[in-house]
Amino acid sequence: MIVSLLLLFGCSQKNQLNLTDFVDPFIGTGGTGHTFPGATLPFGMVQLSPDTRQNGWDNCSGYHSLNSTILGFSHTHLSGTGAIDYGDILVTPMSGTLLTEPGEETNPETGYRSRFSHSSEEAKPGYYRVTLEDDMIEAEMTVTERAGFHRYTFTKEGLSHILIDLKHGLGDRTTESWVEINGKREIVGMRRSTGWAKNQVIYFVAQFSESFESAGILENGTVLQDSQKSQGTDLKTFASFKFSPRSQLLVKVAISAVDVEGARKNLEKELPGWNFDKVRQSAKKRWEKMLSVISVKGGTESEKTNFYTALYHSLIAPNVFNDVDGRYRGADLDIHQLPPNRSMYTVFSLWDTFRAAHPLFVLLYPD
């Protein structure tokens, strides 16, 4: 069947430009499609995407097209799995009053979630954009393999904030976390959770393009006075900034399953600068290269969109799991070292993917 499919669409090695224009990441975000519209790279560790709800089987990816509010943008997501988990390291921007609880979906003013409209959304491979309507903040996302890159444009004058919620997750529960504020432009930490994965740990390093006006930590909903570090199961941290209208803030967040130093190395190697548009273009090129192994001849624009979106979705997982230095956390939870030029992957879902996805990888991406 695979050979027939490739013959039908005409397989060739010729490059076809702008194949990413045929990818619609919103396909599958309704019903029980379990896909997400956010930014990721082929087999990338990071899937930076909006979370519209935390629970429900139809919300396995963290995003559902029927929802009308966004909680924030977390860095790990499952796609098309039929199981809910991940949603690690939620980043939420806001202006004015600092809100530290999610609030009610039917009454967004009760928390940090924000209304949004699908008409303000844009999603392309490696890029996502939306306007958070409550504070009229434009949020843009792009990625490297192991790091997420946020760009926020604040329209209101005065104080604005970035909240990082380590209690937040998708269908799981935080069992341990810690966070530390380093100086005026960096926050680091760890989140351990139990859910579909029983003992999952994610470390992160978040760096900011502007210095904090102030920063703090909340434990069980209470701001800790004069504290730069804390640990617990209900932790949030925030950074506040004083902006003029149309000010932009860039936030880089790298993750690791090994330790904070692994996340820092990932950030330094993959995202050393602050050029958001350059990183976005690099992500687009990565996707163009992966999609160009199949050249479609004939068919309607809609059929090409369906085809290349399906190919795009098939390349989201499995996900690279080792840091740039070759270290990774094994199934035994110990830290292991890969030989040079080798990669470790996770999220295989082998009981499904052995039928078609992995044979497809062997045919199209033997390297």
Query: Average of pLDDT values for 284-297?
Result: 96
pTM: 0.93
Indicate whether 28 pLDDT > 70. Answer: yes
Give the pLDDT band (50/70/90) at residue 104: very high
- The per-residue pLDDT for 69 is 97
Inter-residue contact 202 to 194 (CB < 8 Å): no
Helix pair angle (301-314, 276-291), 10° resolution: 100
pLDDT of residue 17 exceeding 80: no
Residue 255 has what pLDDT? 99
Extract the tokens encoding 147. Answer: 């790091």
Domains annotated for the chain, with CATH where assigned, are 19-286 (2.70.98.10)
Residue 350 has pLDDT above 90, yes or no: no
Q: pLDDT at position 56, please?
A: 84
Q: Greater confidence, 1 or 97?
A: 97
Identify the pLDDT of residue 367.
81
Average model confidence (pLDDT) for the chain? 93
Q: Which residues contact 253 (CB under 8 A, 6 or more apart)?
A: 48, 75, 89, 91, 147, 148, 150, 204, 205, 206, 207
Question: Does residue 310 carry a pLDDT above 80?
Answer: yes
For 227, list phi and psi in degrees, rounded to 5: -115, 130
- Least confident stretch, 16-25, 117-126, 225-234: 16-25
List C-alpha distances in Å: 311 to 22, 290, 356: 11, 9, 12
Q: Among 18-22, 192-196, 239-243, 248-252, which is the least confidently predicted range?
A: 192-196
Residues facing 205 on adjacent strands: 188, 254
Give the pLDDT band of residue 7 (cuts 50, 70, 90): very low
Six-digit token string for 321:
């799991």
pLDDT attached to residue 14: 46
Residue-wise DSSP of 247-299: EEEEEEEEEESS-HHHHHHHHHHH--S--HHHHHHHHHHHHHHHHTTS---SS
Given a cut of 80, whether residue 186 has pLDDT beyond it is yes
Read off the pLDDT of each residue in 335-349 and give the average, rounded to a whole number.
Answer: 94
Q: Does residue 2 register a pLDDT over 70?
A: no
Residue 301 burial (C-beta neighbours within 10 Å; 0-12, 13-18, 19+): exposed
Share of the chain above pLDDT 70, in %: 95
Predicted pLDDT at 15: 47
What band does 57 get if pLDDT is binned at 50, 70 and 90? confident
- Split at pLDDT 50, 70, 90, the class of 82 is confident
Q: What is the mean pLDDT of residues 13-34?
A: 85
pLDDT tens-digit map of 135-182: 999 999 999 999 999 999 999 999 999 999 999 999 999 999 999 999
Max Cα distance, the chain (Å): 66
Percentage above 90 pLDDT, the chain: 86
Place of tokens 């110990």: 334
